[in-house]
Chains A and B, each alone.
Chain A
Amino acid sequence: MYSKKVLKYFFHPKNVGIIKNPTVKVTEGSLACGDMVTLYLKIDKVSRKIVDIKFKSYGCAANIATMSFLTELVKGKTIESVEKLTYKMLEKELGGLPPAKTHCSLLAIKSLKSAIRLYKEKMGEIEYESIDKDFVMSRLRSVIHPAIGKDIVSSGLVAMANISDGKVNIKIRIKEKRFRRIVLEEIKERFCIPQIKKISVEFVDKDEKAKDKD
C-alpha cells in the first residue's frame, strides 16, 4: 500500500507540464523499463535559483508522485542547495515507498542531477579535456531509446559519429518517426554545451540509406 502522501501527490500532481524555453530539459528512464520522465527547468543565472520547474511522466503511481513531490521540493531553491538531495531523503519525506519502487525515487533524483549537470555544462562551468569522438560517444551513451530501454550506443544504433572544429555529425539507425523525434530532442539537449558549435543528426533505416535530415 502506498503512503497517504504518495497517493496525494499521485492523484493531484503538482508542476505537471512543459516550460516553453527551458534553461535545461532532460529525459531519463525508458518505456522498456517502465518509466520515462522529462524534466524542464528554468534557472536564474544570477541567483542560481530554480525559478520554475515542470515535468512529464509516462510512469506508475510512485513515479508520478516522486516527480511531483521532487519538483515542489526544489522549486525556488538554489541548485547548490538541492544537489545534495538523495533518493532516501525523498522517500523518507514521502512516508516511504514499497521496496520494489525504489527505482522511481532513484529516477527522480537522477533526472534532477542530470539536469543540474547539463546546466553547468551549458554555462561552461564544467571543463572537458578534449572534445573528441570518445566524448561524443560518451554523451550518446546517456541517450536512451525509449522502446528498447537501453542507450543508443550499446543498442548499436549509432551508425556514425564524428567531430571536427566543434561540429558534430551523427547518423542514427531508427525507423519509427515517434522515436526519432524523442531521440533527436534528447541528443540536441545533451550536446547543447558551449564547446560544441553545431550538431547535426541524420536518421537512417536499418539499410543505412539516409531518410530524414535534421
Chain B
Amino acid sequence: MKKRFIYLDNASVTKVDSRVLRAMNIYHTKYYSVPTVEYGHSFGLKSRKALEQAREAIAESINANKDEIIFTSGQTESNNLAIKGFVAMNNTARVITTKIEHESILNVCKDYGNVAYLDVDREGFIKFNSLKRLQEEGAILSIQHANHEIGTVQNIKRIGRFCRKAGITFHVDATQTFMKLDIDVERMNIDLLTISPHLIHGPRGIGALYIRKGVKIKAILSGGYNEFGIRPGLENIPAIVGFRKAVEIFDKKDVSRMFKLRDRLMKNLLEIDNTKLNGPLGKDRLCNNVNISFRYVEGESMLLHLDLRGIIVTTGSSCFSTALKPSHVILGIGGRHEDAHSSVRFSLSKYNDVEDIDYTIKNVNEVVSELRKISM
C-alpha cells in the first residue's frame, strides 16, 4: 500500500491555504511599505488600507468595532497582553482562571500571584458554583473557549452574563474555536478576546486581541505608537492580510464535515479495549478534537509508530514534553498520571477525509496491539 501522509495535529498549527499565501505574497513583494498615516505617501497608504480593511473584516467576524482589534504576534502575546495589560492598570485585581488553561495564561497568572482557580469537572467544564464562590468585583476572569487538549467547549454565554452582572472583566482565549464556533462579543458579554488565524489555515506569527471600548489595557512592550499605542512595533501587514483572507474563505460546511469525521474516529477508537475518552462527547466538544487514553500504551511510543505509518499526532505523555511533565490538562480534570502518559490527541482540519480517518483507525488498532505486546 502506498504510504499516506495524514496530518492530525491541527490544534497546534494548520497548513496555510494557497489563497491565503497568494494574498500575503503581494504584501511581501509589491506593497511592502510601512503603513503610513492617512496623509502619508501613496505607497504607504496601500499598506494602511490593507491594515484597516483587515481590522474591519476581523472585527466584523466577532461582532466588534474595528478600533477594538489590536494585532499582536500571536496567541501567546494576546493572552499576555490581556492579563498583564489589565493588572498593570488595576494592580490589586484578582485573576480568576482554571488549571487547564494554556501555559500562556497559567504562567502569567503564576508570576502575578493574586490568582484564584475555578473547579472543573471530569470533562473539563467549569463548575459554576466555584465561580459564584470566587467572584470578586473588579477581578478579571480568563478562560478558554475550548480546551486545546481535550476540546471541552465552555458555556461562554452563561459565564459572560454572570461576569457582566458581577463587575468582572471577561477574557476569553478563543484560539481553538475562532471561526469554528460562533463568537459574538456583544451577545456573549466578552471584554477581551484572543484570536488568531493559524488554526484556520492562515499564517502563524500573527494574532489579535479584541479589547472592548472602555476596558483599560496598558501596553506590555515599549516602543512606537502603533496599534493605538497598545502594541508598538512594525505592523506585520502580509500576515495581517493573510489573517483576513483566512477569515473570509472560512466555510462553515467544513465544521459539519469535521464533526462527522471526528465522531467516526472517536467511535471506532473507543471500541479498542481499555481506552478512555478525555473530554466530553457531542456538541460541547470542539468539532476537530479527539483525545483518547490507550491504557498500557505510552504516548510517545504511539506517536513514533504512527509517524512511521505517515500519521502525525501528539500526546500528553511526560516523555514527550520538553519539561518532562505529564499533561496538566488531564491531571487538571482528575485524570491519573497513567491517563496522561497514554493520551493521544488527534486534531482534524478541512483537508482530512474519510479515507484518512479509516486509515488512522486501522493503524491505531495495529500499533496499540503491537505496543501492548511489549507492555502487557
Contact = CB atoms under 8 A, between A and B. Distances in A.
B376 A56 contact: yes
A155 B337 CA distance: 16
Contact of A31 (B300, B301, B305, B341): B341
Nearest to B338: A31
Interface residues of B, number: 23
Contacts of B322: 100
Contacts of B317: 34, 60
Chain A contact-residue range equals 20 to 34
Interface stretch (A10-18, A133-141, A200-208): A10-18
A100 B324 contact: yes
Contacts of A16: 373-374
B166 interface: no
Interface in A64-116: 64, 100
A155 B317 CA distance: 23
Interface in A14-63: 16, 31-35, 56-63
Interface of A is mostly: mixed
A8 to B, nearest CB: 12
B375 A10 contact: no
A11 B298 contact: no
Nearest to A59: B298
Given A35-B298, A61-B301, A61-B304, A56 B374 contact: yes
Contacts of A146: 338
A35 B319 contact: yes
A11 B308 contact: yes
B337 A60 contact: no
Contacts of A160: none
A16 B301 CA distance: 15
B314 to A, nearest CB: 14
Given A34-B326, A56-B375, A58-B298, A10 B319 contact: no
B298 A149 contact: no
B305 A11 contact: yes
Contacts of A147: 336-338
Nearest to A56: B375
A102 to B, nearest CB: 11
A35 B317 CA distance: 10
Contacts of A59: 298, 301, 319, 375
B324 A10 contact: no
B320 interface: yes
Contacts of A33: 318
Interface string B154-166: 0000000000000
Given A35-B298, A64-B374, A10 B338 contact: no
A57 B298 CA distance: 9
Interface of B: 296, 298-301, 304-305, 308, 317-320, 322, 324, 326, 336-338, 341, 373-376
The 8 A-B pairs with the shortest beta carbon distances in the complex, nearest first, are: A60-B319, A58-B375, A60-B300, A32-B337, A31-B338, A34-B318, A34-B319, A16-B374
